[in-house]
Structure 1
Amino acid sequence: MISKIKQLKYIIIGFIFIFLLSFCSPNGEQEKNHLILKTIYKTLHFLHPNPISINNDFSQKVYNKYFEKLDNQKRFFMQKDIEDLSLYKNKIDDFWIHGDTTFFNIIIKRFYQRIKEVESICFQILKKPFDFNKEEMYFIGVNDIYYPKNHQEWIEKWRKYLKYLTLLEIITSINQKKLKISKQKIWKNAFLHEEKISRKKVEEYILEYLRKLKRKKEFDWFSMYVNTITSQYDPHTRYLSPKEKEIFDLNISGQTEGIGVELQDDKGYPTVVKLIVGAPAWKSKKIEVGDKIIRVAKDINSEFQNIVGLLLENSIRLIRGKKGSKVKLTLQKKNGSIEEIILTRDVIEKKEIFAKSAMILDKNENKYGLIYLPEFYFNPENKNGRNAAKDMKKIIQKLKKENIKGLIIDIRNNGGGSLDTVIEIAGFFLGKVPIVQIGQSHKKKKILINNHEEILWTGPLVVLVNELSASASEILAAAIADYKRGIIVGSSQTYGKGTVQTIYPLNRFFFSNKEFGALKFTINKFYRVNGSSTQLKGVNSDIVIPSDISNISLKLMEKNQPNSMKWDNVDPISFHYWNQNKINNLENVKLKSINRLNKNKNLTNINKTIQLLEKNFSKKKQFSLNWKKFYFENKKIKKRNENFQKLKNYLNIYGLRAFPPSYKIILNEKESEMKEQQEWKKNLIKDFLVSECVNILRDFNETP
């Protein structure tokens, strides 16, 4: 959730940076890193609402976490490295306060050293065939991972890992070729024949993986180090490097400026995997899927730069540029020929995050509107640019002209976005009323009110949520629920992110041409008009329908994140229900839906069955590296996976046709987007939750 910070806080930060600048200037990478650390520490020390103790306990957590982030499988570092660097275990707190990069410098130097050594080890191991008749085990999982005690143990750990990958590659090759092999001929016809080819593929994978690690710049690892520290404050406070800030802006605005190609790293070559319809590359007819970009000149007057071997993200940054500017590319075509082309960059839209709509017609030709909003997007660089509120307004006005009988707002999996945007959208249904409170529990609150008098939709309203509806989504759902403006349908609770973040571009404080990135940090909490925070507890649905989100997604909820801020509440503000005369009507509609769902025996058993299956379907943690045992274990696992998926598909509430055949779904999208929209329509027909939302809207119109 992005918010403007008070002018007073800018002044405080300004004094901090003036103080810093009087003692140092950003000459060189070390000074730059020092300034970033010092600046972020001071900012969080003064402004973060959840101050933490910077002590030895803090230091040890950062120490252990950074080792884990760099080497979560414990394959690069040895026990000796942990012991050698342990003298810094209780010093990181002091380093943090003073902007000292000593620990980072030392650990990264050791990490690069180990990468080079690992490359040599892997090369030597993969020279020779593996002994697949040998009885030995390979363990997977954090509980079974240890740092190698010595060099020999280190080599042995990599040998088992590479052998495991080679076995997987052999099995994959057998499955892809669909070889029908008798038990007696498996070894001779499959394993012996495929071993050399598979071992060569594993060598290519590993060397490419290590190449990318080596190509990563020190500053990329530094960004990870800073965020290991900032995550101790809360899960949403983080440093954005210049590259990460670009990606953040793209994700939250849905727009970037470039040529409109999606690239994939193919052994160091940026390779075109998709052309965006309507974008410059697509219009030119000069680029095809499969072409490799080998050189880039950022503009007409620049020299070409060879980008083969660069990290893909760095190549993409060279290709992007301002709308109207030109970029020169050297392509290696699929047929092997080399061509040079010039393209004029344009605005490229990430259409998948934009709001889209549909109309659902029941058997009596009654129309119901559906708006799917994946994010509360806005353009942080252009207030007049495209945003979710503008798009929603147009869609609602269009649906009203169709005389719809009710409206569904689907914000499932919507992770949030702009605070200003969600307040405006809430106003479309509530008018000029308080939407949310901002502040800290022990300090004065700021009440945010929608300033637009006009209410766009006064008819029946349903908001559809799930466990991954977060932040701005929870503000909208909470306001609709508290004012009793509509009915919330979905999971028992939403994600539970009740904190507000702001973004500080660090460049504004330094007189330097270098890029410093930005700090996104938690500055406040938001509270519902009834005084409750959505932090951890989220928003409870009026009508609970089991979701189809896997247990992995549920673990990502705020209450399961380390260092999450606590739930609290404040005094409620004075507010009136949307329409006192219709409160009974609302309750009757809820009761009808609950009774309807209770009668659906299939639905009540579906989620319990899936949860039971997933609970018992634990992943295997160890594998035999003997070819025969590995092969037959893999066959059993493959068969079990297939049976599990079949059963899940059968039980899955989204795998059944939810709408009766007499119902129609009409899309309101452009023909150029037809393929994606038809896929959405196909999924809507099977979406039980949307189907029940239509039933609820029909009940609204039928209940006196």
Structure 2
Amino acid sequence: MLSFLHYHAPEVDEKFSEGVYKKYLESLDPQKLYFLESEIDEFYPYRKKLGNAFINGDTEFFDLSITHLQRKIVKLEALSKKILSRSFDFSKEENITLDEKNNSYAKSIQQWEDQWRKYLKYLTLIEMTTSKKEAEKEKPENSNAVSEESARKRVLENMTDYLRQFKMKKKSDLFSVYVNAITSQYDPHTAYFSVKEKEDFDFKISGQLEGIGAILQDKKGYATIAELIAGGPAWKSKKIEVGDKILKVAQGKHGKSKNILGLLLSDSIRLIRGKKGSVVRLTLQKKDGHTEEISLVRDIIEQKETFAKGAVLEDEDKNSYGYIYLPEFYFNPNNKNGRNAASDLRKEIEQLKEKNIKGLVLDLRNNSGGSLETALDITGLFIGKGPVVQVRRNDGKKETLSSNIKSPLWKGPLIVLVNEASASASEILAGALQDYKRALIIGGPQTYGKGTVQTLYPLDRFRLSEKNMGALKFTISKFYRVNGSSTQLKGVQPDLIIPGRYSYTKFGEKDQENPMKWDSIGAIPYRRWENETELKNVKEKVKNRIQTNPDIKFLDKLARSMQMFEEDKTVPLQWKKFQADKKERKEKNKAFDSLKNYTNGLAVTSVSIVYPLEKLAEDQEKEWKKNMGRDIYLGTAIETLRAYK
């Protein structure tokens, strides 16, 4: 499939092989804590052979590496108990480097053990300094022995639990790590999904799954209720509480119960999930120790954070403006008639229009993309019928994708908020609205820079096996704006730039391994919006205000300082120096919090009805409104809308 259908398949040669080798070892042992240099020497002869191994279906290198890793896990279990049984010397001057590029593999077992001693010491320091008791009492160096012992005990519990879960994994569970080292050589977005990973992907992209509506955590081998989703079957039953442990799972009214104690959490979740309307029986150990069987009817569970959310904002002059936050271009890959971002956004706009808003802000910050078709429909809500994006396939053929919505739903002033994490479909929408001169784009220096299109193909379609083989996500085409420019690497450059936390750090397509190159094709005819002159005048007015705004200048200064901290990954393991280093980093991050004193003067007078709020979400809703009032980007957006006539 990759050889014939990928947009730009690389040659499977020695360079390809070395890329797979490097990526796989980085994924398997990122901090170089597991393998010895002698083991890497044993792996080294494979570095130029993995391309041929890929073509021939040879997994010898994978089998060898996992065998070595599994042996190390067994040794590490005994070593961590030994190290954490004794107090650490926090007066000793030593550091740990948390930068995989500058770390090296241990040359001997003694050096390997010392690497783990430092790492466990580092984890213990974190436990000590994040302990509530430690923070409250602020004990001096010589009086924290009890705290140190408690911290070591907690680290040992966590390590024991981690190693227990790892030992339960089969080679097949780790195989996707190896396969994805291969697919990563094609581009950053080509990937293999195991059956479990495909289920998680579908949930993420649709915001929906079928189950009981509970978030689970693994606690010492017990699948434990960590959170109940408002409106879900578990929440409605009033019989399940946070902290309950699930001991057994049975299917249907008469199915035999299966003990899930010690099972991998992902496997337990697969037993608990199921089709809407089906019955699942859970044997619970309640917090008081007694056991109880609960019968639940599964239902569709919605993750409210995925869906569009709107509000009406009032400025100090009682002018009303609309605001819509769109976290993803969601759709249901298994149901074309299911819920999607375009239909929800239409409802939000219709609702906001009834409030007589003077302008609209569409927030695409941190929106990593989703459905291309949904992006076309949403663009049409603002431009009506017309070309939105050009697509070029791997065979060189070009196609123009258009909105078929006859008339725009919103014709008034429009602002689009973006940041460095706005990617893919977000860039298609923002780029089209910018090219049409339909909206002003506000955000960091550029968006993420993902100008490629992927498709998802179930591998069991080949019928090579009765077994479900998962799915392959791979790049089939590149997209280009109507002006002919690609967003690949360069992203969308906003009309009005406000720096963000990640503006000067490595965060984008250009900073990934094996990204596709930027290029351009010819522009296609499109009709710009009628108020282009007014939009230009508004841009110039607000641009001058942004450049002189002291809060934005301060934000820029902080963003630049984050770059320095990202590059410095050496941490001292001496108590006083560790505390001083942690305090300095905390104060740098706290500096961003000082912007919480900023207020944009906006009042939230009504909120979205697309996703009705349940009682359990009231606190979150209050916090959301509060944060909107402190949002400097939103304040600038409303200030820009006020500049319209």
Q: Scaled by the length of structure 2, what TM-score is found? A: 0.94
Map of 1:695 onto structure 2: 639
| 1:476-515 equivalence runs, <5 A | 476-510=429-463, 512-515=465-468
User: Structure 1 residue 666 and structure 2 residue 610: aligned?
Assistant: no
Equivalence for 2:289: 336
Distance of aligned partners of 1:49 and 1:308 in 2 relative to their CA distance in 1, 3 Å threshold: same
Specify the alignment match of 1:410 in structure 2: 363
Q: Root-mean-square deviation (CA), in Å?
A: 2.2
Larger mean Cα displacement after TM superposition, 496-505 or 55-64: 55-64
User: d(CA) in 2 for partners of 1:525 and 1:347?
Assistant: 34
Summarize the Cα distance change of 1:563–1:613 in structure 2 as closer, same or farther, 3 Å threshold.
closer
The equivalent of 2:16 in structure 1 is 58
**SS in structure 2 of the partner of residue 142 of structure 1:** coil
Contact 1:503 1:518 in 2 (8 A): yes
Task: State yes or no: 1:686 paired with 2:630.
Answer: yes
Higher deviation after alignment, 302-311 or 560-569: 302-311
Query: Given the alignment, which residue of 20, 45, 50 partners 1:92?
Result: 50
Counterpart selection for 1:350 from 303, 321, 339? 303
Query: Which residue of 396, 399, 414 maps to 2:349?
Result: 396
Is 2:479 the counterpart of 1:522? no
Residues 422 and 138 of structure 1: CA distance in aligned 2, closer, same or farther (over 3 Å)? closer
Whichever residue aligns with residue 657 of structure 1, its letter is: T
Q: CA deviation at 1:75?
A: 2.0
Instruction: Report the residue type matching 1:401 in the other structure.
Output: E
**Could you tell me which residue of structure 1 aligns to residue 161 of structure 2?**
208
Q: Is the 8 A contact 2:8 2:394 kept in 1?
A: no
Deviation at 1:239, TM superposition (A): 0.4
Tell me, yes or no, if the aligned pair for 2:5 and 2:394 is still in contact at 8 Å. no
Q: Provide Cα deviations, 1:87-107, integer angstroms capped at 9, x if missing partner.
A: 222110101112222211221
CA distance in 2, matches of 1:320, 1:304: 15
Which residue is equivalent to 1:288?
241
Provide, for residues 307-340 of structure 1, a one-character-per-residue CA deviation record: whole Å limited to 9, x for no partner: 1222211111111000000111111100111111
C-alpha distance 512-133 of structure 1, shift in aligned 2 (>3 A): same
* Secondary structure of 1:677's aligned partner: helix
Partner of 1:312: 265
Q: 1:680 to 1:145 in 2, by over 3 A?
A: same
Q: How does 1:573-584 map to 2 (within 5 A)?
A: 573-579=524-530, 582-584=531-533
Say whether the 8 Å CA contact 1:362–1:664 is kept in structure 2.
no
What secondary structure does 2:137 align onto? Answer: coil
Q: Flag the 1:403–1:145 CA change in 2: closer, same or farther, 3 A.
A: same
CA distance in 1, matches of 2:445, 2:84: 51
> 160-169 vs 459-468, which deviates more?
160-169
Q: What are the residue-to-residue correspondences of 1:230-379 with 2, within 5 Å?
A: 230-379=183-332
The alpha-carbon deviation at position 450 of structure 1 amounts to 1.3
Cα gap change, 1:98/1:414 in structure 2, threshold over 3 Å: closer, same or farther?
Answer: same
CA gap of 1:66–1:599, structure 2 versus 1, over 3 A, is: closer
Counterpart secondary structure, 1:453: coil
Q: Point out the more displaced range, 458-467 or 253-262.
A: 458-467
Query: Aligned-pair distance for 1:459?
Result: 1.3
Partners of 1:296 and 1:330 within 8 A in 2: yes
- When structure 1 is superposed on structure 2, of 351-360 and 173-182 the one drifting more is 173-182
Aligned in 2, Cα 1:262/1:57: closer, same or farther, shift over 3 Å? same
1:190 and 2:141 aligned: no
Q: Number of matched residues? A: 641
Cα gap change, 1:613 to 1:485, in 2 (>3 Å): closer
Distance 1:291 1:452, change over 3 A: same
In structure 2, which of residues 421, 427, 433 is the aligned counterpart of residue 468 of structure 1? 421
Secondary structure, aligned partner of 2:202: helix
* Structure 2 residue ranges without an equivalent (≥5): none
- CA deviations on 1:182-210 (whole Å, 9 max, x unpaired) are 6xxx43x422x445443333322221111
How far is the alpha carbon of 1:620 from its aligned partner?
Answer: 5.5
- Name the amino acid aligned to 1:90: K
Note if 1:67 corresponds to 2:25: yes
Change (3 A) 1:265 1:635: same
1:623 is aligned to: 572
- Residues 1:220 and 1:62: Cα distance change in structure 2 (over 3 Å): same
Q: How far does the alpha carbon of each residue in 1:201-224 deviate from its partner, in whole angstroms, 9 at most, with x for none?
A: 332222111112112221221101
- Paired position in structure 1 for 2:36: 78
Q: Aligned equivalents of 1:617 and 1:238: distance in 2? A: 27
Counterpart CA distance in 1 for 2:97 and 2:435 is 51
1:657 aligns with 2:599: yes
Query: Is 2:540 the partner of 1:591?
Result: yes
Stretch of structure 1 that moved more, 281-290 or 125-134? 125-134
Using the alignment, how far apart are the partners of 2:259 and 2:507 within structure 1?
Answer: 40
Q: Which runs of 5+ in 1 are unaligned?
A: 1-42, 625-629
Distance 1:47 1:338, change over 3 A: same
Q: Is the 8 A contact 2:496 2:539 kept in 1?
A: yes
In structure 2, give the amino acid aligned to 1:573: I
Q: Distance in 2 between matches of 1:249 and 1:623?
A: 42
What letter corresponds to residue 83 of structure 1 in structure 2? D
Secondary structure in structure 1 of the residue aligned to 2:180: helix
- Residue of structure 1 equivalent to 2:402: 449
Partner AA of 1:658 in structure 2: N
- Normalised TM-score (structure 1): 0.87
- Give the 3-state SS of the residue equivalent to 1:228 in structure 2: helix
CA change 1:696–1:166 in 2 (3 A) is closer
| Residues 472 and 133 of structure 1: CA distance in aligned 2, closer, same or farther (over 3 Å) | closer
Q: Alignment partner of 1:294: what SS?
A: strand
CA contact (8 A) 1:171 1:631 kept: no
Secondary structure at 2:404 match in 1: coil
1:371/1:161 Cα in 2 relative to 1: closer, same or farther (>3 Å)?
closer
Query: Percentage identity across aligned positions?
Result: 49
Q: 1:218 aligns with which of 163, 168, 171?
A: 171
1:178 aligns with 2:133: no
The equivalent position to 2:114 in structure 1, one of 127, 136, 156, is 156
1:571 to 505, 522, 526: 522
Tell which deviates more after alignment, 506-515 or 636-645. Answer: 636-645
**SS where residue 231 of structure 2 aligns?**
coil
Matches of 2:562 and 2:125, distance apart in 1: 28
Amino acid in the other structure paired with 2:621:
Q
Asked if the contact 1:441/1:570 (under 8 Å) is kept, the reply is: no
Larger radius of gyration: 1
Deviation at 1:617, TM superposition (A): 7.9
Paired letter, 2:584: R
Question: CA 1:70 to 1:342, structure 2 compared with 1: closer, same or farther past 3 Å?
Answer: same
* The 10-residue stretch of structure 1 (227-236 or 202-211) with the greater mean CA deviation from structure 2: 202-211
- Counterpart of 1:374, as a letter, is P
SS at match of 2:189: coil
Shift of 1:556: 2.6
Deviation at 1:451, TM superposition (A): 1.6
Aligned CA distance change for structure 1 residues 59 and 511 (closer, same or farther; 3 Å): closer
Partners of 2:416 and 2:135 lie apart in 1 by: 48
**Alignment CA distance shift 1:682-1:330 (3 Å):** same
Report whether the alignment pairs 1:123 with 2:81: yes
Equivalent position amino acid for 1:572 in 2: A
8 A contact 1:477–1:539 mirrored in 2: yes
The alignment partner of 1:352 has SS state of helix
Give 1:181 shift.
Answer: 4.6
Flag the 1:550–1:272 CA change in 2: closer, same or farther, 3 A: farther
User: Which string of whole-angstrom CA distances, capped at 9 and with x for unpartnered residues, describes residues 80-127 of structure 1?
Assistant: 211122222211010111222221122112211221122222233344
* Structure 1 position 402, deviation (Å): 1.9
CA distance in 1, matches of 2:590, 2:54: 52
Does 2:64 match 1:111? no
Taking a change above 3 Å as real, the CA distance of residues 593 and 441 of structure 1, as seen in their structure-2 partners, is farther
